[in-house]
Amino acid sequence: MLTRKTAAVISALAGIIYLLLPSQAWADGGDTDVGSCNSAWICAGVEVPGGNGGGNGGGGGGGHNGGGGGGGGKGDGKTCETGAKERPGSPGWECYIPGVGTWSESYGCYIRKLDPQPPKSDPIWEGHTTGAIYAFACMSQIHARPTPTDGFARWSETDPLGQTGPSAAELAQRALSMMRLDGAKIGSAPPAGSKGLIGMPVWLWTEQTPNTWGPLSTTASAGGLSVTATARVKSITWAMGDGTSVTCTKPGTPYEKSYGKQESPDCGHTYTKVPDGGSYKITATSTWVIDWTATNGETGTLPNETRTAGTAINIGELQVVN
């Protein structure tokens, strides 16, 4: 026959064991449905003692404190029913607390992605190389306004808040936005400001730099995904000012005096009449093609980009003096 003292001890032990069960549920598996654990706390009607509950170790590598130093800061001004079932009548706390995270109703926790992430050699990764480490501050364990040192951290393959990161194509566009793609840095023979003659070959070229001809590469990253975009000029179309155009798939060959009256081997034009006003305005339109590759194996091509540059050449007619 149990004495009242013995029954009280057994009852207390049973309560302690039950309080530990949800914590273990957090530790099992990868993308654990933490919300179900939170419901277990609520449905049991167990009142967890006040104060900070931090330090649940998580599973696999033993977990980490969700810490981050400093106070919780001022929130976003919006109030969520955080822990209202454990604290009847409570107005709740901010939906977002700096350094703590964003409130998740389904999890019953404030959640944030650790930044910086622990090194991949850290046991908390449980051997995984994808996903990320998140901090959880859960109202089932914390009955005061949480701070950055409350709760624990664990690995998750997907974002517990359901916030999907940018796609590879979106990152490619972001990488492109970080590039400086220029028009041609024009060279010509005869050079701008000097005079050529009708019937004499005109040489055209662009100075080759990463920004005027390519290749030019930049990388954008988010959520463990990196995309490298590479841009290069496919062609330059030269509108010669006389109603004709020349499309060159090479940057062109810079003219040297030793070439004499030869035509350009890859990019040139010959005028057949004297322009009104004495000069032809030339517009060079560079067409850039952009390819991208992602660390997840995806590849693609962005829409072409065009850049323009201009110059002018004076063209005259050879005068024969008797």
Return all residues near 64 (Cβ < 8 A) that are at least 6 apart.
58, 118, 122, 124, 133, 152, 153, 154
Tell whether the model's pLDDT for residue 157 goes beyond 80: yes
Which pLDDT does position 22 carry in this prediction? 33
Residues 204 and 264 in one domain: yes
225-239 and 152-156 beta bridge pairing: unpaired
* Per-residue model confidence as pLDDT tens digits over 260-301: 999 999 999 999 999 988 899 999 999 999 999 999 899 999
Residues 128 and 210 in one domain: no
Q: End of a domain among 138, 165, 192?
A: 165
The verdict on residue 62 lying in a domain is no
Per-residue confidence band for 15, with pLDDT thresholds at 50, 70 and 90:
very low
* Per-residue model confidence as pLDDT tens digits over 116-139: 999 999 999 999 988 899 999 887
Per-residue confidence band for 101, with pLDDT thresholds at 50, 70 and 90:
confident
Which pLDDT does position 276 carry in this prediction? 87
Q: End of a domain among 116, 145, 165?
A: 165
Q: End of a domain among 165, 193, 217?
A: 165
79-80 and 201-206 beta bridge pairing: unpaired
**Tokens 């055209």 identify what position?**
204
The CB-side HSE value for 150 (13 A sphere, CA atoms) comes to: 25
Per-residue confidence band for 36, with pLDDT thresholds at 50, 70 and 90:
very low
Long-range pairs for 73-77: beta carbons < 8 A, 24 or more residues apart: 73/97, 73/98, 73/99, 74/98
Pull the structure tokens for residue 2.
């149990």
Residues 126 and 238 in one domain: no
Which pLDDT does position 322 carry in this prediction? 57
Which pLDDT does position 39 carry in this prediction? 27
Per-residue confidence band for 81, with pLDDT thresholds at 50, 70 and 90:
low
Of the chain, the percentage scoring pLDDT greater than 70 comes to: 68
Measure the CA–CA gap between 183 and 194, rounded to whole angstroms: 22
Of the chain, the percentage scoring pLDDT greater than 90 comes to: 43
Evaluate whether 200 touches 245 at the Cβ level (below 8 Å).
no
Q: What are phi and psi of 216, to 5 degrees?
A: -130, 125
Average pLDDT, the chain: 75
Sequential DSSP letters for 102-130: EEETTTTEEEEE-SSPPPTTSGGGTT-SS
The verdict on residue 221 lying in a domain is yes
Domain limits for position 242: 168-316
Higher pLDDT, 189 or 222: 189
Continuous H helices in 98-248: 168-177
Tell whether the model's pLDDT for residue 207 goes beyond 70: yes
Q: Could you tell me how many helices (H) and strands (E) the chain has, helices first?
A: 3, 17
Average pLDDT over residues 306-317: 93
Per-residue confidence band for 38, with pLDDT thresholds at 50, 70 and 90:
very low
Residues 200 and 306 in one domain: yes
Instruction: Look at 160-164, 174-178, 313-317 and tell me which has the smallest mean pLDDT.
Output: 160-164
Residues 311 and 231 in one domain: yes
The verdict on residue 14 lying in a domain is no
The verdict on residue 72 lying in a domain is no
Residues 212 and 178 in one domain: yes
Which pLDDT does position 176 carry in this prediction? 94
Per-residue confidence band for 94, with pLDDT thresholds at 50, 70 and 90:
confident
Residues 248 and 312 in one domain: yes
Long-range pairs for 86-92: beta carbons < 8 A, 24 or more residues apart: 86/41, 86/42, 86/47, 86/48, 86/139, 86/140, 86/143, 87/143
CATH number for the domain spanning 266: value is 2.60.40.10
Measure the CA–CA gap between 250 and 234, rounded to whole angstroms: 8
Taking 3-state DSSP, the helix, strand and coil percentages for the chain, each rounded to the nearest 5, stand at 15, 35, 50
Average pLDDT over residues 206-234: 93
The verdict on residue 289 lying in a domain is yes
Which pLDDT does position 61 carry in this prediction? 34
Residues 185 and 308 in one domain: yes
Tell whether the model's pLDDT for residue 44 goes beyond 70: no
Which pLDDT does position 59 carry in this prediction? 33
Residues 126 and 147 in one domain: yes
The verdict on residue 8 lying in a domain is no
Total domains present in the chain: 2
Residues 95 and 231 in one domain: no
Residues 83 and 209 in one domain: no
Which pLDDT does position 269 carry in this prediction? 96
Per-residue confidence band for 222, with pLDDT thresholds at 50, 70 and 90:
confident
Which pLDDT does position 104 carry in this prediction? 83
Residues 293 and 174 in one domain: yes
Average pLDDT over residues 45-57: 30
